[in-house]
Structure 1
């Protein structure tokens, strides 16, 4: 031991310092495909054989692993450079146009997420429809029994907050189901002294809204890094007043690639302090609870619904066999009740629009428009409205992935209970909320 300690101290001094600017983001190893060529089916009969089956080059008795079938690597949206085939392993291929169109659909991506069992309903659902909960050990003084608390895990983006590797459970993404979590989740399976925090519902809602802002920030960085090669690859655009009037009159979205329409007006100044709120994504949980209490106390003021499904019209599709596609219309006032977060949402959308505007100006020919040249000022109905249209198709998928932002918005919609059906609209994702509430009351 006396000779071991000096060597350990020297190794620790020479070791490189950890990177503190990684925000907890873990870089995963490159996936290697195990797919190989399967030998032909062997014959176990003695007809036509001159030697034993054990002497074959690939006999199924001692070398049975050669007959195991493995999946190939999933295709990628875009390959940076073509890979040379070495023959040892297959290499990832680029997606076809049809696969890229499937990849650009947020609904198919949600349904393709891994299946997990909800501890409340005992149903297996895709994990994008669930909330992950994991136990966390609380600090305790000496002589006090150790306690653990059940907190949310994996709601925020892993680049901002890494996911815990502890055992976890899942509940349905719906705030009305949280009161039944204490009586239904097997808490003793994780720890003898595991408790559920009283502000669990408020924390989940806050983190779901924070995930939307995080996805907007990451999408803006990805769009700013790449050029706009295809004019059809526009991710976000602001509707004009005339286009917004058409949406209000027809209750439909005249864009075939729309996945979300957000109405987010700028936040006005506080009538008491005469100051505008500063955009801030991070908030204290006490402020979130206070905002929820104030909104419930002033429930007499009618707020617009958080989202409304509108059909997406397309003049090119004339078939009556397919059902009409629908896209949600989100109202910023109900989507982000907290004024600092709503101001951060409006600022992030305007920043994303500015990135799109600069990308379009660079894509235009040099003789037509200059980046420093100002466009003519719009007037009347040609002015921009407060409606932001989010699009996703096979062209935008090759430029940047818009689906995580659309999924984050839809998960917030599910959390508020609007994805489970109501008296206004019909949902095909889950049964209606009234049936599920009465069932939960009878069960628990």
Structure 2
């Protein structure tokens, strides 16, 4: 699409949505960036101990959760700072002590602040998956007229190639992102894509479709998954790693949504139709494809159903891009 983006396009394009977020100044570099490409820290006063109130203020990650799950720290002062969404930048900030511009007695532990921020970003991805699933489950049945109206599809390596060919030919909705939920192998380079899909992915110099493998990023999460209310309370001695629980939760939300929308489609078109046959569950796979509108559609002409389908996956992809920025890979690709 040549020329400026249509009015409202930022609602349906993850990159435009991030770039159109409010501008903030990074306290470390003094560069002005869109706030979706940054993380915020706020001064909080720790709760009092038996020895008495804490004399220090602590810088904690803030406003990284979805508003539905936001857990504002008790004692927050509301005074905060922004820094680029990049682990190295945050750890550098803690080491240099630039955060003390907020308050002379402020503290930020360089050994733990990276892990805390990392875990907040992981939780946001899980939260956006749940919110997206809930939003799609509330769609009207009339909105699902074909399989292309389902913005998420589970597939295999072979199925992904077919979807890519349809994407290139323009016969399906545009592929917005690929999620790989495959677990980490016992011993391998965890930073590489899984072998079954690596050969298909675009190279770093020609990355046409964002690809996100979640297991390596989730592997070092430190927050306990009981923080999400939709999960049952696990025993403290449950041996399942938190990362595996997060991945299982994402998979359950995506699978549940796909199954529900496929059943609605079958009821609408009739079980004996060709469309119903295409909507039947396919082979198991670890790859999930997120679809977006065709790139040449004008968002100002969308009806209610088209708007809902267009914006459905955008918040999740934004959370995934922030995850990639945090690792440094996203900045290198810019």
TM-score by length of 2: 0.71
Q: Aligned pair count?
A: 280
Q: Distance in 2 between matches of 1:343 and 1:170?
A: 32
CA apart distance, 1:350: 1.4
CA apart distance, 1:340: 2.0
1:302 counterpart = 2:189: yes
1:205 counterpart = 2:106: no
Residue in 2 that maps onto 1:146: 55
1:264 to 173, 176, 181: 181
Q: Distance in 2 between matches of 1:417 and 1:175?
A: 7
Kindly tell me: are residues 256 and 184 of structure 1, through their superposed partners in 2, closer, same or farther at Cα, counting changes over 3 Å? Answer: farther
CA apart distance, 1:358: 2.4
Q: Distance in 1 between matches of 2:108 and 2:214?
A: 31
Residue in 1 that maps onto 2:229: none
Q: Map residues 70-219 of structure 1 onto 2, 5 A cutoff.
A: 98-99=6-7, 101-140=9-48, 146-161=55-70, 166-184=78-96, 186-197=98-109, 198-219=111-132
Q: Distance in 1 between matches of 2:179 and 2:306?
A: 19
Q: Please say if residues 174 and 415 of structure 1, whose CA atoms lie closer than 8 Å, have aligned partners that are also in contact.
A: yes
User: The residue matched to 1:204 in structure 2 has which SS?
Assistant: helix
1:397 counterpart = 2:296: no
Kindly tell me: are residues 364 and 165 of structure 1, through their superposed partners in 2, closer, same or farther at Cα, counting changes over 3 Å? Answer: farther
CA apart distance, 1:209: 0.9
CA apart distance, 1:201: 0.5
Q: Distance in 2 between matches of 1:419 and 1:130?
A: 12
Kindly tell me: are residues 102 and 240 of structure 1, through their superposed partners in 2, closer, same or farther at Cα, counting changes over 3 Å? Answer: same
User: Greater Rg, structure 1 or structure 2?
Assistant: 1
Superposed CA RMSD in Å reads: 3.8
Residue in 1 that maps onto 2:214: 332
Residue in 1 that maps onto 2:259: 354
Q: Please say if residues 258 and 389 of structure 1, whose CA atoms lie closer than 8 Å, have aligned partners that are also in contact.
A: yes
Kindly tell me: are residues 165 and 105 of structure 1, through their superposed partners in 2, closer, same or farther at Cα, counting changes over 3 Å? Answer: farther
Q: Distance in 1 between matches of 2:154 and 2:211?
A: 14
Per-residue CA deviation, residues 332-358 of structure 1 (Å, 9 max, x unaligned), is 332422222222222222122223222
Residue in 2 that maps onto 1:419: 330
1:223 counterpart = 2:136: yes
Query: Which structure is higher in helix share?
Result: 2
Q: Distance in 2 between matches of 1:342 and 1:186?
A: 35
TM-score by length of 1: 0.54
Kindly tell me: are residues 238 and 149 of structure 1, through their superposed partners in 2, closer, same or farther at Cα, counting changes over 3 Å? Answer: same
Kindly tell me: are residues 158 and 369 of structure 1, through their superposed partners in 2, closer, same or farther at Cα, counting changes over 3 Å? Answer: same
Kindly tell me: are residues 416 and 188 of structure 1, through their superposed partners in 2, closer, same or farther at Cα, counting changes over 3 Å? Answer: closer
Q: Please say if residues 235 and 396 of structure 1, whose CA atoms lie closer than 8 Å, have aligned partners that are also in contact.
A: no
CA apart distance, 1:411: 0.5
Q: Distance in 2 between matches of 1:243 and 1:120?
A: 45
Q: Distance in 1 between matches of 2:260 and 2:184?
A: 22
Kindly tell me: are residues 253 and 205 of structure 1, through their superposed partners in 2, closer, same or farther at Cα, counting changes over 3 Å? Answer: farther
Per-residue CA deviation, residues 6-34 of structure 1 (Å, 9 max, x unaligned), is xxxxxxxxxxxxxxxxxxxxxxxxxxxxx
Query: Structure 1: where are the runs of 5+ without partners?
Result: 1-96, 269-297, 313-322, 422-426, 429-444
Report 1 or 2 for greater relative contact order, CA contacts < 8 Å, sequence distance ≥ 6.
2
Q: Distance in 1 between matches of 2:79 and 2:274?
A: 57
CA apart distance, 1:258: 1.5
Q: Please say if residues 414 and 420 of structure 1, whose CA atoms lie closer than 8 Å, have aligned partners that are also in contact.
A: yes
Q: Distance in 2 between matches of 1:377 and 1:401?
A: 21
CA apart distance, 1:193: 1.8
Per-residue CA deviation, residues 378-407 of structure 1 (Å, 9 max, x unaligned), is 6xxxx3432110112256533453211000
